[in-house]
Chains A and B, each alone.
Chain A
Amino acid sequence: MTFKPPKISSSEITPVRDWLRRREFLTMSAAFAFAAGLPREGHTAPLAASSSDYTVPDKLTPKKDVTSYNNFYEFGLSKDDPANKSDDFKPAPWSIRVDGMVAKPTTFAVENLLKLFPPQERVYRMRCVEAWSMVIPWDGFPLTAILDRVEPLGSAKYVAFESVVRPDEMPGQRGVFQSLSWPYVEALRLDEARHPLTLLAVGVYGETLPSQNGAPIRLIVPWKYGFKGLKSIVRITLTAKQPKNTWSVAAPSEYGFYANVNPSVPHPRWSQATERRIGAGGLFGSSRVPTLMFNGYSDQVAGLYSGMDLQTSF
């Protein structure tokens, strides 16, 4: 149950990376069929996490799918770009600045965060706004723990998050064609941020986060669409005014501030009533399931939005 910091820092495991590279050469010479199916797990280290009650009973999405099918436009638009084009990304050393309307603005090194807030395992549903979903065992700690540490002022109403900008390491941030404006930013209301389900994840499947999943630390808000859970966070700022979030700036008619999973509010271009649960087994392996209000977390979070019109505040 007690937390042991990883003995091997990620900088010391280059042999593993070389070994993965070797496989890369092998797959390149092998038939395309095999190359296409191979997961690339990047460089991760084991991470000890205690169990928690926050676990849904659904069948877990296979690890190879969780780590090979990602939206992380800083690395590229394709679902496999984050896994294939993140070799240059350096998630260590890393620190997060927590500032704004707080009594004690602080910069935390990630390894210190792990000591301060020992990770727990939480199996959450993850519903993408593109109408697919996964069930993922994250390792992390509640966002509220870090907020307590910096002591938000009474006037703070929102929490703004900022992702990393490193064009040298992230090919999606280079060149003429830029899909979004960087940094990728997201935000929550303070009560949403304080909710016990809201997680800062530092690992997945019992290992530190691979780059494609948002190494070394990312946000998970399981009752909201996946794009709220920004990756590779460098800054958290408490504010009085509602901050901007990337997708609602890019396409205001399609993505809102709240982005709560809601089967009765369709995306203008597609329905949100059902979702395809990603699973093993090829073309006939996945299956469409009904999307649940607040992604199935109604009992825990519906109270946050009582009295609000969720059709307009989407």
Chain B
Amino acid sequence: MKSAMTVGRAWKNASIWLLYFVALLPAGWEFYLGATDNLGADPVKTFERFLGLWAVRLLILTLAISPVRDVVRVNLIRYRRALGLTCFYYALMHFSAYVFLDQELEVHAIIADFVKRPFIMLGMTGLVLLIPLAVTSNAISIRRLGKNWLQLHRLIYAIAICGAIHLSLATKIISIEHWLYLALLTMLILYRCGRPLLKRQRTVDILPAKG
């Protein structure tokens, strides 16, 4: 019995590391394709977009953890940190691809882009806001910050808004896939806004049964 529990815990820990590996695999594979000239005619743009899209996908998965727990009663909370952190890594790689490969480190052009264009400004704001969340994602910070940790990590919804607008401005025409991501992000943000109300409702439902 005890050994079965230990095996169970070991698998849970291993599955988290597996998640990191699986989530970062697409970036490694895409980079390999790009470096070996297998990403088509405009590999820089393809690679840059790919990293940004994966950041969005992982952001959606991160935000989906608590609604899934509330609605489907499946608790995947142990994977949330890995999802959030890989979202940050993808956003960081996306930014690096923009700075080094796309803009070729033309600092003046990058600053001009940032100042003049909401598209770039929102993307960078999202990334900057991700930094404190990534830095305080460890157990020690959670313990030290206590209630403040929860407050701080609500920033993820501001990040989601930045990311959604950034995505919607990235192309001349928004594709069906991008519309899907935008719809999911909107739903997840709205769910978070309505969640306190839902909880109150549930408490009211439960109370008479108890009484």
Chain A residues in 8 Å Cβ range of B102: 276, 288
Enumerate B90-107 residues with CB–CB distance to A below 8 Å: 101-104, 106
Q: Which residues of chain A have C-beta atoms less than 8 A from B43's C-beta?
A: 282-283, 285-286
- Chain A residues within 8 Å of B117, by CB: 268-271
For A280, what are the chain B residues with a Cβ–Cβ distance below 8 Å? Answer: 37
Q: How many pairs of A and B residues are in contact by the CB < 8 Å rule? A: 91
The stretch from A73-81, A197-205, A216-224 touching chain B is A73-81
Q: Is A69 an interface residue (CB 8 A)?
A: yes
**A258-270 contact mask (Cβ, 8 Å, vs B): 1 or 0:** 0000000010111
Distance to closest chain A CB from B115 (angstroms): 11
Q: Which of B2-10, B16-24, B169-177 contacts A (4 or more CB under 8 A)?
A: B169-177
Q: Nearest A residue to B103 by beta-carbon distance?
A: A288
CB-CB contacts below 8 Å: A165-212 with B: 177, 179-180
List A contacts of B109 (CB < 8 A).
Answer: 271, 273-274
Residues of chain A within 8 A (CB-CB) of B171 are 77
Q: Which residues of the other chain, A, contact B176 by a CB distance below 8 angstroms?
A: 177
Docked-complex contact B112 and A36, CB < 8 angstroms: no
B28 interfacial by beta-carbon distance below 8 Å: no
Complex: how many Å from CA A142 to CA B23? Answer: 53
Q: Pick the contact of B40 from A68, A77, A266 — CB < 8 Å?
A: A68
- Which residues on A sit within 8 Å (CB–CB) of B32? 33
Residue of B nearest to A65 (CB): B41
Interface pair B35/A284, CB less than 8 Å apart: yes
A69 and B42 contact, CB distance less than 8 A? yes
The number of residues on chain B lying at the interface, defined by a beta carbon within 8 Å of a beta carbon of chain A, is 34
Flag whether B191 is at the interface (Cβ < 8 A).
no
| A34 close to B (CB within 8 Å) | yes
Q: Mark A270-314, 1 if CB is under 8 A from B, else 0.
A: 110110101011111111100000000000000000000000000
Check: A124 CB closer than 8 A to any chain B CB: no
A62-100 interface bits toward B, Cβ cutoff 8 Å, 1 = contact, 0 = none? 001100110001000111100000000000000000000
Say yes or no for B69: interface residue by CB 8 A criterion.
no
Question: Which residues of A lie under 8 Å from residue B31 when comparing CB positions?
Answer: 283
Interface membership of B39, Cβ < 8 A = yes
User: Chain B residues with Cβ under 8 A from A180's Cβ?
Assistant: 173
Residues of B within 8 A of A37 (CB): 37-40
Classify chain A's interface size: 35 or more
The answer to whether B39 and A283 have CB atoms under 8 Å apart is yes
A130 CB within 8 Å of chain B: yes
> Inside 8 A of A274's CB, which chain B residues have their CB?
106, 109
Residue of A nearest to B48 (CB): A283
Closest to B170 in A: A269
Residue B76 CB within 8 A of the other chain: no
Contacts of B169 in A (CB 8 A): 269
Shortest CB-to-CB span from B30 to chain A, Å, is: 10
* CA A130 to CA B171, docked complex, whole Å: 9
Instruction: Pick the most buried of B34, B47, B173: most chain A CB atoms within 10 A of its CB.
Output: B173
Judge whether A138 is part of the interface by a CB distance below 8 angstroms: no
Cα A280 to Cα B39 in complex, Å, equals 11
Chain B proximity of A193: nearest CB distance (Å): 25
The interface residues of chain A lying within 8 Å CB-to-CB of B42 are 69, 79, 132, 276, 278, 286
- Of listed A36, A270, A283, residue having the most chain B CB within 10 A: A283
B172 to chain A, nearest CB (A): 7
Question: Which residue on B lies nearest to A280, using beta carbons?
Answer: B37
Asked if B70 lies at the interface with its beta carbon under 8 angstroms from chain A, I say no
From A34, A271, A278, A284, B112 is in contact (CB under 8 Å) with: A271
CB contact between A282 and one of B39, B106, B113, B175 (< 8 Å): that residue = B39
Does B45 touch A at the CB level, under 8 Å? yes
Chain B contacts for A36, CB-based, 8 A: 33, 38-40
B189 close to A (CB within 8 Å):
no
The proximity string for B residues 34-61 relative to A, scoring 1 for CB distances below 8 Å and 0 otherwise, is: 1111111111110100000000000000
A-B contacts, 27 listed (Cβ < 8 Å): A33-B38, A36-B33, A37-B37, A69-B41, A69-B42, A79-B40, A79-B41, A79-B42, A132-B42, A132-B45, A177-B176, A266-B116, A269-B117, A271-B112, A271-B116, A274-B106, A278-B42, A282-B34, A282-B36, A282-B37, A283-B31, A283-B35, A283-B44, A283-B101, A284-B101, A287-B104, A288-B103
**Given contact pairs A34-B38, A177-B176, A284-B101, a sample of 10 additional A-B residue pairs in the complex whose CB atoms are under 8 Å apart:** A36-B40, A180-B173, A269-B169, A273-B109, A280-B37, A282-B34, A282-B39, A286-B44, A287-B104, A288-B104
